[in-house]
Amino acid sequence: MSRRRIAILGGTGYGGAELLRLLLAHPEVEVIRMTSRKQHGRSVTGIHRNLLGLTDLRFENREASMAGDDADLVFAALPHGTSQDAIAALPEDTAVVDLSGDFRLGTAETYEAAYGRPHNAPELLDQFVYGLTEFERDRIRRTQRVANPGCFATACILALMPLARAGRLDGPVALNGVTGSSGSGAEPKTTTHHPERATAFRAYKPLVHQHLPEIEEELIRGGTTEPKLSFVPHSAPFVRGIHITAMVHCSGPIEEEELKRIYREAYGRERFIRLVDRPPDVASVTGSNFADVHVRSAGSTALVLVAIDNLVKGMAGQAIQNMNLVLGFPEETGLMAAACRP
């Protein structure tokens, strides 16, 4: 059987690079196209030098309406606010996994409040299924369009959803997140420039991060009627990874054995979620599609710790999980590499 054909829109950033790295090792697909207006005609390996010897692709500058020609599925690895216009120009029957935030939220009003700009294609919002694979796989199998979650949102939802589904997410939740510099994208900025970042640790967007509304919306789908969340993300001096500390204040006592049972029932059969017996380390998931989860309790407080690679489980790896479901492959296909810890 011939391989399924994949196009990537906007392949110059870290998301596009990780998608291509993983897809080149996927046994069931071939990448036929990567697009970039600024890098048109340049070899892909001229930008992504880690892929030298693995691909002969060159960046193409195609109109969005033709970018998916001959492709079975299109990944949109474009910036927030740009992706919606490109996807709106694609034929209606094009299968799409969008890595931006443009189709994660339920309404144009929520999107504008989170991202500070109006939504240009609100008529398409209902076509997209939120792609937190472990909790939405049945809906993803039945759709052609997936909104891939944000990296912080992925880790936070993995931390909280088991409690939401068990009816124990009924009190205030304090979320603290730490991310590496790759979360800010490939374009150099003051906050990602190495001399500024290497010895710095700072909070940013406290209580107003754009991923908070998608976390709330997914938890409501999971059964929590009114999530009481506060979220403070932090920028740390490492490159890859996200670490989430979730302090959940339940309305009544929660024994540690009950807490562990809730998470075993939620994740015991999940291929990419590992319940670990000590606090997780981002180094143990770097380069992999695994999420490590650790839980403890004291009185009415449940502590949940989660570590993921922001570029894999938090972006490209989860996008491929979703692609696998849309195209009918086993969910783990092409994603079983271990972390690259030394």
Tally Cβ neighbours within 10 Å of residue 294.
Answer: 18
> Is residue 108 a contact partner of residue 125, using CB atoms and an 8 Å limit?
yes
**Dist CA 83 CA 90 (whole Å):** 11
Shared domain check, 159 and 292: yes
For residue 64, give the 3-state DSSP assignment.
helix
Q: Which residues form the domain of 156?
A: 151-310
Domain assignment present for residue 330? The answer is no
**Dist CA 30 CA 55 (whole Å):** 10
Considering the candidates 151, 156, 250, 340, report the single residue annotated as catalytic.
151
Torsion of CA 85, 89, 94, 97, to 10 degrees: -10
Is the predicted pLDDT of residue 182 greater than 90, yes or no?
no
Q: What is the mean pLDDT of residues 150-179?
A: 97
Q: What is the mean pLDDT of residues 267-274?
A: 98
Burial class (CB in 10 A: 0-12, 13-18, 19+), 17: buried
What does the pLDDT read at residue 342?
66
Domain assignment present for residue 28? The answer is yes
Among 132, 125, 40, 141, which residue's Cα sits nearest to residue 88? Answer: 125
Shared domain check, 297 and 257: yes
**What digits encode the pLDDT tens for the residues 38-49?**
888 899 999 999
Tally Cβ neighbours within 10 Å of residue 125.
Answer: 19
**Dist CA 176 CA 211 (whole Å):** 13
What does the pLDDT read at residue 70?
92
Model confidence at 185, in pLDDT bands (50, 70, 90)? low
At 200, phi and psi to the nearest 5? -110, 150
Domain assignment present for residue 287? The answer is yes
Domain assignment present for residue 329? The answer is no
**Dist CA 139 CA 130 (whole Å):** 9
**What digits encode the pLDDT tens for the residues 304-337?**
999 999 999 999 999 999 999 999 999 999 999 9
Shared domain check, 194 and 106: no
What does the pLDDT read at residue 300?
96
340 noted as active-site residue? no
Shared domain check, 174 and 93: no
Shared domain check, 214 and 121: no
> Is residue 234 a contact partner of residue 176, using CB atoms and an 8 Å limit?
yes
For residue 230, give the 3-state DSSP assignment.
strand
Domain assignment present for residue 160? The answer is yes
What total of structural domains would you count in the chain? 2
Q: What is the DSSP string of 89-136?
A: HS-TT--EEE-SSTTSSSSHHHHHHHHSS--S-GGGGGGPEE--HHHH
**What order of strands is seen across the sheet that includes strand 59-60?**
59-60, 29-35, 4-9, 73-76, 96-98, 145-147, 129-130
Q: What is the mean pLDDT of residues 110-126?
A: 96
Model confidence at 184, in pLDDT bands (50, 70, 90)? low
Alpha helices in 142-237 (DSSP H): 151-165, 194-197, 212-221
Model confidence at 125, in pLDDT bands (50, 70, 90)? very high
Shared domain check, 217 and 96: no
What does the pLDDT read at residue 62?
84
At 292, phi and psi to the nearest 5? -100, 130
What does the pLDDT read at residue 186?
62
CA angle 162, 100, 48 (to 5 degrees): 110
* CATH number of 286's domain: 3.30.360.10
What does the pLDDT read at residue 108?
96
Residue 315 DSSP label:
I
Shared domain check, 64 and 8: yes
List, in sequence order, every beta strand (DSSP E) within the chain: 4-9, 29-35, 59-60, 73-76, 96-98, 129-130, 145-147, 172-179, 202-203, 228-235, 242-249, 273-275, 291-298, 301-308
Summary mean pLDDT of the chain: 94
Model confidence at 145, in pLDDT bands (50, 70, 90)? very high
Please name the residues in contact with 328: beta carbons below 8 A apart, sequence gap of 6 or more: none
CA 228 from chain centre, in angstroms, equals 22
Shared domain check, 123 and 214: no
